[in-house]
Structure 1
Amino acid sequence: MNNGKILEVCINEGDLKQLANNISTASNLGARRFELCSNLHLGGLTPSLSAIDCAVKSLTNSAELVVMVRPEAGDFIVSAECYELMEKQITMAANAGAHGVVFGAVKRGELDLDVTRSLVATAKHYGLMVTFHRAFDTLTNPLSALDKLISLRVDRILTAGTPWQSGQSAVDGLNQINTYLAHSANQIEIVMGGGVTLDNAATLWQLINNYSAKAAVHVHSCVHNENGAINAEAIKKLLSKD
């Protein structure tokens, strides 16, 4: 039971048997969405086709799968070569049955409007939802970018409300997230992620309740055991009534 909460769980592809178990366990417990990545130690890269296929087949309870589209680690500048790969990876995710894709494109601290517009168009051609990932937290003028992303029909942004790689959590960025929620006025879903724990998640859920907001909480480490398996009790705690 999710009590109306939208919990998004970030999953590393890893071993396919464990991937299947993780997704079926968490979705049975009420997790609404999964972000599938590879190489999370590099900030998350595009997963393999076999992992996407496995994840799609493991979903239960009408849960959704969104797929990271990031061919290379490092900054979020999208070269012509990288762009071509991202186009192909969006197509791959769609053909494998994913519900959405996750990507970002930034140039000199600003939203790369041309690349973002084109990638969104490709995703929408296949009926995919689009999340602009934490490249958003590298932008020098996030409110202006937020307006542009809304106009481009991006469905969600993933943000901690704190600078990328600052080591700060989404709770540290609460005031900035509060600004995003007010500014976006439910025109785009704000997915709050980064350093979310079982102890601080309640603060984020409360913020969502205060706004009756189109928003979600994104977690990873706090719902996985040391061996990479989903911790069912952690999922239950995150989705319990406050």
Structure 2
Amino acid sequence: MTSSTPIAPIALITGGSRGLGRNMAQKLAQDGTDVIFTYHSNSVEAQSLVAEIEAMGRRAAALQLDAGKSGTFDSFAAAIGDVLGQWQCTRFNFLVNNAGMGVHAGFAETTEAQFEDLMNVHLKGTFFFTQKLLPLLADGGRIINISSGLTRFSTPGFAAYATMKGAIEVLSRYMAKELGPRGIGVNVVAPGAIETDFGGGLVRDNPEFNAIIAGETALGRVGMPDDIGGVVASLLRPANGWINGQRIEVSGGVSL
């Protein structure tokens, strides 16, 4: 027998097998949330996270997804339905649109192909992926869209990327307005520079760039994945359900 009200809340995180997404999955599991997450290509890495979450006593499932290929979203929604059925549920509660890729190129050097890749993953992907999954998202659920500190301050080399994230912030306000009648809250989390492999590991692996960002940050360092995952988990707790339509920057106070 299935139930639309799961024993524990269920979160779906895109791009959850590594970097910020992996940390979000870990923090949500620690909070008592079951987690479905997507990975792009590394199934071994994904299954290691499934095992880690299950060791915490929570349910976990990893599904392959290319967030830039909207033509696959119908079949992905069906796969989500299958997982929920196996868990004796019909709905999930939280959607975190985290999947992304980075391009570091000056405005004058950015190619049309780079622009389209960014748009397909960050903007078109988020728009239509969320739209496709609305029937499976529980009333009273919540959505978090991941943006970037680069929509507030400008760092040369990220014009195209920041443009997509700026659009996500506008989209999020419209989502909050239009999904409000279903009790669904929508917020934006905007990380600053974080030490991950994102964008080729620029922040993590380039000491000069890392030092520049740290020098512009009030707390004197760049961010780590732990700085972001806990914020996402906190926003999805019942006590924070009245926060809606907001952009929360998590950057340690960069470029104040």
Q: Say yes or no: TM over 0.5.
A: no
Q: Is the helix fraction higher in 1 or 2?
A: 2
TM-score (norm 2): 0.39
**Normalised TM-score (structure 1):** 0.40
> Max radius of gyration: which structure?
2
